[in-house]
Amino acid sequence: MAEGRVNEYKLHFIVLVLVALTEFIGTKKISIGIGVIALFPMLYALVLGGAISWPKFKFLSEKEMNVAANILGVSFLIFIAKLGANIGPELPKLLGSGVSLIVQEMGHIVGTIAFGLPVALWLGLKREAIGATYSLDREPNLAIIVEKFGANSAEARGALGVYICGTLFGAIYMSILASILGSSGLFHPISLAMGAAVGSGSMMAAATGSLAVIFPEAQKDIAFYSGAANLMMSIVGTYVCIFFSLPVTQKLYAWLEPIIGRKGASSAAEGGRKSA
């Protein structure tokens, strides 16, 4: 660890400049046919940050990028404290929405499987599909898969693939999705706020941010309900993944794969099959 120490201040300084610059530019709303796309500071910061870290520019070393990922985790904790502080003054309201909180959590849990698994099988994924769709595949979920199937299993490959996509464009995608769903008029901002608590720091920040821009008058409610839903997720998330999501996804895979799956479309799956 001692050699090649990373200068964290370089990272902090870049972020400071990015924040100052992007907050100065401020929010822009662009109306496209199907709705309003909200462009706002955090998205510029993400894209500019991504450009700075682009490997070709060699401006940041891989080590520095890893440290940035760690600091990202720490900065999310302050965001969490803010969400919690939003809930405290109105605790009774939290108890009043207990049912919807529990039900929406089920939505988060089954949503990845119900949507993802059939599509994954239809595209010809084999056992990768289990790892890819049983959860949102953030760090804790990856750990669960690796522990159960091993790091070289097809399941782990699937989970890692979704994990990488999540890091690379999860936040951008979530903010676009939040913009589209938000301006569709189909859902109440509070339902969307709960939906935004997907269990990933950057994705959740991006989705709640978009909602706050689209529904400025509901900003407090958005923080309240996404905070509550995120708390719910962080309490039950890991256990549900181990004892429910993963076994259910495996059962569904065994049942659906012969029906939807393609023959031999994914050669990479063979190794995984043998080890299973």
Partner 1 sequence: MNQILTIFIIGFIALIGNWIGYKVPFMESLPGILLLAVITLIGMGFTRILPFKSPVIVWISLFAMLATSPFFPGNEYTAAAIAKINLLALATPILAYAGLSLGKDVHLFKQLSWRIVVVSLVVFTGTFLFATLFAEIVFKLQGKFL
Closest CA to 134 of 271, 233, 232, 243: 243
Nearer to partner 1, 50 or 247 (CB): 50
Structure-token pair, residue 82: 């803010």
Query: How many residues belong to the site for partner 1 (CB under 8 A)?
Result: 132
Closest CA to 47 of 169, 143, 137: 169
Nearer to partner 1, 44 or 148 (CB): 44
Map the footprint of partner 1 across residues 158-177, applying CB under 8 A.
Answer: 158, 160-162, 164-168, 170-171, 173-174, 177
Map the footprint of partner 1 across residues 6-25, applying CB under 8 A.
Answer: 8, 11-12, 14-16, 18-20, 22-24
CA separation, residue 27 to residues 22, 38, 50, 52, 237 (Å): 9, 7, 19, 22, 33
Q: Give CA–CA dist 151/136, Å, rounded.
A: 18
Residue of the chain from 37, 64, 154, 183 that contacts partner 1 (CB under 8 A): 64
Chain-centroid distance, C-alpha 121: 22
CB 229 within 8 A of CB 98: no
Map the footprint of partner 1 across residues 25-54, applying CB under 8 A.
Answer: 26, 40-43, 45-54
- Three-state DSSP at 35 gives strand
**Amino acid sitting at position 39:** L
Is residue 55 involved in binding partner 1 (CB under 8 A)?
yes
Q: Give CA–CA dist 216/219, Å, rounded.
A: 5
Map the footprint of partner 1 across residues 183-202, applying CB under 8 A.
Answer: 186-188, 190-192, 194-199, 201-202
Is residue 244 involved in binding partner 1 (CB under 8 A)?
no
Map the footprint of partner 1 across residues 84-123, applying CB under 8 A.
Answer: 84-89, 91, 97, 99-100, 103-108, 110-116, 119-120, 123
Is residue 79 involved in binding partner 1 (CB under 8 A)?
yes
Stretch that binds partner 1, among 29-37, 68-76, 143-151, 253-261 (CB under 8 A): 68-76
Chain-centroid distance, C-alpha 229: 14
Residue of the chain from 6, 36, 71, 256 that contacts partner 1 (CB under 8 A): 71
Chain-centroid distance, C-alpha 204: 6
**Amino acid sitting at position 142:** L
Nearer to partner 1, 148 or 169 (CB): 169
Nearer to partner 1, 172 or 276 (CB): 172
